[in-house]
Homo-oligomer: A and B are copies of this chain.
Amino acid sequence: MRFEKPVPVTTIAQIIGAQLMGNKEGMVTGINELHKVEKGDLAFVDHPKYYETCINSAATFIIINKETSFPGGKALLVVDEPFEAYLKIVNHYRPFVPSMKMISDSSSVGAGTVVMPNVYIGNHVQVGRDCVFHPHVTILDHCIIGDNVTIQAGTIIGSDAFYYNKKTNRDVHYKKMTSCGRVIIEDWVEIGANCTIDRGVSHDTIIGAGTKMDNLIHIGHDTIVGKNCLFAGQVGIAGATTIEDNVTLWGQVGVSKTLTIGKDAVIYAQSGVKDSIAGGKVYFGSPVEDAREKMKEFVWIKRIPLLWEKVMGKK
């Protein structure tokens, strides 16, 4: 999340009651989770395992639960509970104020856009021109929809990220990391019926221009989908993943988090992508491999009985 305007780090330290160390003159431009953090951003870390990564990330300001050494120009904000401090900042700068009207007065809808009955449009949503939103579509706060976008019935844009802080010494193990990101849908995107596109937990989920999605598709928080992609029914993509341009995912493909699928890749139905894969190729399997290699494997498996007979004398 970008703040509306940069905030002095001293203000942030005061809001969360932190001991401020290092660069006390800095201006904080936004808050982000580790995978998406940029210069000027605030990030948080509460486990020694991730101290190094966080302190050496692009983040200029680090909320942390222990004094540590850190590069010059950066600042540490030391608190007992960095996760609680994060929540405090998000709730301060982007509080959840649910709109109780079907179409919020603070939203804007461009000329020529058709909003069919029972569509919900939340606070500060911006919708472009010549879109069609079918019945029962839900577009939640702060999302941005381009021009010529079609969203079919029952689809949800901007549901909260599935992102939790886990501590097994609490009664409630998982505590939600409040989402302050958005969903941005570019021009000429079409999204099928009963899909769900989560907002970024702290960055944005982006669907590139000209991408077309079938029904019952799930796109996780902070995921970036390129231009002119084609996703068939029931595809699921986890959070903070990058799908480059012109990628084709056939039905029921699953894609794991924080990976990249290269440009022009084609993934056959029901495959599972668990690590980054290069573009320009065709894949199959769970986990995926080169589709042709995978097909050959099926043939090899069928030859085991013959091998067995030859080696062992009989089946």
Residues A173 and B307 in contact, CB atoms below 8 Å apart: no
Give the shortest distance, in Å, between A85 (CB) and chain B (any CB): 21
Checking B230, B238, B246 against A164 with a beta-carbon cut-off of 8 angstroms, the contacting residue is B230
Bound-state Cα–Cα, A190 to B172, Å? 11
Residues B212 and A164 in contact, CB atoms below 8 Å apart: yes
Question: Which of A33-41, A50-58, A191-199 is the contact stretch?
Answer: A191-199
Question: Which of A2-10, A24-32, A76-84, A111-119 is the contact stretch?
Answer: A111-119
Whether a CB of chain B sits under 8 angstroms from the CB of A280 is no
Question: Which of A15-23, A61-69, A87-95, A267-275 is the contact stretch?
Answer: A267-275
Residues B212 and A236 in contact, CB atoms below 8 Å apart: no
Whether a CB of chain B sits under 8 angstroms from the CB of A216 is yes
Whether a CB of chain B sits under 8 angstroms from the CB of A210 is yes
Chain B residue nearest to A296 in the complex (CB): B305
Checking B102, B196, B234, B301 against A154 with a beta-carbon cut-off of 8 angstroms, the contacting residue is B196
What is the count of identical protomers in the complex? Answer: 3
Residues B252 and A254 in contact, CB atoms below 8 Å apart: yes
Checking B168, B192, B218 against A234 with a beta-carbon cut-off of 8 angstroms, the contacting residue is B218
Bound-state Cα–Cα, A301 to B299, Å? 11
Known: A118-B118, A136-B120, A193-B156. A308 touches B303 (CB 8 A): yes
Whether a CB of chain B sits under 8 angstroms from the CB of A153 is yes
Bound-state Cα–Cα, A153 to B251, Å? 24
Interfacial chain B residues near A304, Cβ < 8 Å: 300-301, 303-304, 307
Chain B residue nearest to A234 in the complex (CB): B236
Residues B210 and A171 in contact, CB atoms below 8 Å apart: yes
Range, interface on chain A: 35 or more
Whether a CB of chain B sits under 8 angstroms from the CB of A105 is no
Checking B100, B134, B154, B300 against A116 with a beta-carbon cut-off of 8 angstroms, the contacting residue is B100
Residues A311 and B312 in contact, CB atoms below 8 Å apart: no
Residues A140 and B153 in contact, CB atoms below 8 Å apart: yes
Within 8 A of B (CB), among A155-212: 156, 159-160, 162, 164, 168, 171-174, 176, 188, 190, 192-196, 198, 209-210, 212
Residues B116 and A118 in contact, CB atoms below 8 Å apart: no
Whether a CB of chain B sits under 8 angstroms from the CB of A243 is no
Known: A135-B120, A172-B188. A159 touches B215 (CB 8 A): yes
Residues A173 and B246 in contact, CB atoms below 8 Å apart: yes
- 3 closest A-B pairs by CB: A159-B193, A196-B215, A162-B214
5 contacts between A and B (CB under 8 A): A118-B120, A153-B156, A198-B215, A269-B286, A300-B305
Residues of A within 8 A of B (CB): 98-102, 114, 116-118, 120, 132, 134-136, 138, 140, 150, 152-154, 156, 159-160, 162, 164, 168, 171-174, 176, 188, 190, 192-196, 198, 209-210, 212, 214-216, 218, 220, 228, 230, 232-234, 236, 238, 246, 251-252, 254, 256, 269-270, 272, 274, 286, 297, 300-305, 307-308, 310-312
